[in-house]
Structure 1
Amino acid sequence: MTTQFGGLLREWRETRKLSQLDLGLNADVSARHISFLETGRARPSRAMVLNLGSVLEVPRGSRNAMLHAAGFAPGYRARDLDEADMVPVKAALEWMLERHLPYPAMVLDRHWTIIRSNATAQMMLSQVGIGEGDSLIDALLDATRLPSVIENWQEVAQHLVHRLRAESAHFGGDACLDERAAQLAAQIGTFAPGSGAGGEAIVPTRYRMGTSTLSFFSTLSQFSTAEDIALADCRIEHLFPADEQTREVLKALVASEG
């Protein structure tokens, strides 16, 4: 009979589209043992649960669920950035945000809540009433906020739907991200890309700020060795100018603020 742990293991293996043989090879155990774990004929050690969770790239919070299902105490916790052992992490985040000026950058959690942002990002987002602690997804779904200042909204929104779905898949399914992706997809309806679709290296976001239109593309970074649940889900989004005009406007803007 399948145990709770066995069911979770099978779900994650199927989510990652691995056969029992594939998982066994990657985890350095036999496919037969994987089968026994999934059916409950064998019980895993704590080390085995952690090994399989790592191979399957299971998010830390879900690894805790696997540990609990196998009868073990949680192995991971979520810390606040103000805790003592997070001081180096907090300093690194602040360094990345500040060094990215005059370009905007922000730190987002799993559900796109803004944890930290630099001065340029704050300046840009404040014009639509968004600040630290607010959900970027909520602002994207509100037609009076971010969609109202993004000139190529339909094009950008289509990419955001794909990003939300991809992030949900990484987490093995996230109801919040799935729901927001569905809401956003319903809002934009059927979108037919222009004739040049696929011909560009990037799709910039054209953000209207006052009398200027700023064009950006972004990169995402994360902590590669994070064991903390919240930190492992954290993303640092850096926006870069997609044209020279945007670069010059941002340099002048920050200079005037200084």
Structure 2
Amino acid sequence: MSTEFGGLLRQWREARRLSQLDLGLSANVSARHISFLETGRARPSRAMVLNLGSVLEVPRGSRNAMLHAAGFAPGYRARGLDEAEMAPVSAALGWMLERHLPYPAFVLDRHWRLVRVNATAGMLLGQMGLGEGTSLIEALLDQTRLPAVIENWQEVAQHLLQRLRTESAHLGGDAWLNEMAARLADQLGDAAPGPGSQAIVPTRYRLGETTLSLFSTMSQFSTAEDITLADWKIEHLFPADEATRQMLELLAAGGG
């Protein structure tokens, strides 16, 4: 990727499949000015860099790179959950995870590392040798781990592959996500996705004599300006059938 502002702007514009006119209209500047910025004939103000970064939905870390290339100080930083400023965020995460019990829920970073888990997720993932700090993607690519206990692995993997590619594209091309997607595509070979006859595709986990059928929803912090927080995703798993609901409630009550 280019280190010059004009090159970075052009790369992000092309990644978002926008013409100079489209970007200019969205950013309230002329297409000619966009062209001058990309060729280096014009130098952007700090406000213009931030405006274009917002319009192009550039991740916060990459917006810092654009600011640096334009000669400005970074505008975003990464904070730890233990910092005082992050206390409301930490409390919100804890609230969402705990209120989702007895169903599993966890927080993932951009590379699908487990940041936080609730009690049910911790128990289920622990049975597969997974915990906070480990990457779900790496576990999903290891045929001796998650794929070995997912009954409908081929079906799930097709959706996983599309999700990896979509997330990488949104980030402007993440090398690690691209590598994981390539490895998964190699595993799938020429297998074609099904016709999509179901409303949702649950993942069916086989744990001993029990099969848990779960689907998930994803949420993020919509106003996050912190680099790390903007990449985090909170995944809530729900039972896809009555038997799974009853089993999760039984496990939460200590009867599993």
TM-score range, shorter chain: over 0.9
Q: Is the 8 A contact 2:158 2:193 kept in 1?
A: no
TM superposition shift of 1:192: 3.8
Q: Which amino acid aligns with 1:248?
A: Q
Partner of 2:8: 8
Give per-residue Cα distances to partners, 1:23-53, cap 9 Å, x unaligned: 0110011111111100111000000000000
Show structure 2 runs of 5+ residues with no match.
none
Structure 1 runs of 4+ with >2 Å offset: none
Q: Taking structure 1 as the reference length, what is the TM-score of the superposition?
A: 0.96
* Cα separation, 1, equivalents of 2:162 and 2:109: 18
CA contact (8 A) 2:105 2:236 kept: yes
Counterpart residue type for residue 6 of structure 2? G
1:172 aligns with 172
Find the aligned partners of 1:206 and 1:226 in 2 and give their Cα distance.
33
Residue number in structure 2 paired with 1:20? 20
Picking from 225, 235, 238, the partner of 1:237 is 235
Pairs within 5 Å for 1:47-126: 47-126=47-126
Distance in 2 of aligned mates of 1:230 and 1:73: 18
Matches of 1:221 and 1:211 in 2, distance apart? 32
Do structure 1's residue 34 and structure 2's residue 27 form an aligned pair?
A: no
1:214 is the counterpart of 2:180: no
TM-score (structure 2 length as normaliser): 0.97
Residues 1:43 and 2:43 are matched in the alignment: yes
The CA RMSD over aligned residues, in Å, is 1.4
1:252 to partner: Cα distance: 1.1
Give distance in 1, aligned partners of 2:241 and 2:51: 45
Aligned to 2:253: 255
- Percent sequence identity over aligned pairs: 78
Deviations 1:182-204 (A, max 9, x none): 0011112222445xx31111111
Query: 1:122-148 CA deviation, whole Å, 9 max, x = no partner?
Result: 111111100001111111111111111
Aligned residues: 255
CA distance in 2, matches of 1:212, 1:189: 30
